[in-house]
Amino acid sequence: MIRILALAALLALAPFVHGRSADVAKVEAAFTPGDDISDLIAQRIARSRESVRMQAYLFTDRHIAGALYAAMRRGVKVEIVADAAQQQAGGLPLLEPLHRAGARVYLNTSHAASHNKIVIVDGTTVITGSYNFTQAAQSRNAENVVVISGNRAITGRFVDNFEYHRSQSSPWP
């Protein structure tokens, strides 16, 4: 019993390492079928104030694209890193119009598949999971996303990884 209490006390103090409080992440999960993941993503983009960074393997969801257009009209910087092979195969038809509207679009050829499916909003919220940004993912597939916010260390890792993949990609032709 003393070991359990000692462990509980240690876990309670764990966020206070070296005299400072660690960020506690807020984590949410959503699943298809059932949850409206497309709307969840669009709502998070609608809250953006500074930047939206997206990594996409497939992208055909017009609702999410509409949220990106609206964000750009508000002055939000939008950057997208996508799989070059999927672009050539027609799986990313929304990239060209987003690029024309002002999004910075990059195509990745550095990997067999640039398979990340991530949205980073203002460097503070990360949306990631199996969910491709497609109508099929919302209406026909079994998919998931996890939304992580409030933890600078975690979101920083995703931002750093985004920057790495962007540096390995070519700007839109």
139 vs 150: CA distance, rounded Å: 30
- The parts of the chain modelled with pLDDT lower than 70 are 1-22
The yes-or-no answer on residue 115 being catalytic is yes
pLDDT of residue 20: 45
List Cβ neighbours of 138 (8 Å cut-off, separation of 6 or more): 32, 36, 37, 38, 61
pLDDT of residue 22: 67
pLDDT digits (tens, 9 = 90+) for 31-55: 999 999 999 999 999 999 999 999 9
In the numeric block, which tokens belong to residue 129? 């999971």
Q: Which residue among the candidates 63, 77, 99, 115 is catalytic per the annotation?
A: 115
Q: Are strands 118-121 and 125-129 parallel, antiparallel or unpaired?
A: antiparallel
Whole-model pTM: value is 0.86
The Cα-based distances of 8 to 5, 12, 13, 19 in angstroms read 5, 6, 9, 19
Residue in 91, 48, 83 with CA at minimum distance from that of residue 68: 48
In the numeric block, which tokens belong to residue 90? 């027609």
Q: Which residue among the candidates 61, 83, 117, 165 is catalytic per the annotation?
A: 117
Query: 36-56 as b/e, with b when 16 or more CB fall inside 10 Å?
Result: ebbebbbebbbebeebbbbbb
pLDDT digits (tens, 9 = 90+) for 2-20: 444 333 334 444 444 444 4
Instruction: Spell out the domains of the chain, with CATH numbers in brackets.
Output: 25-171 (3.30.870.10)
pLDDT of residue 10: 41
Q: Which residue among the candidates 23, 35, 39, 122 is catalytic per the annotation?
A: 122
72 vs 162: CA distance, rounded Å: 19
The yes-or-no answer on residue 117 being catalytic is yes
The yes-or-no answer on residue 122 being catalytic is yes
pLDDT of residue 173: 78
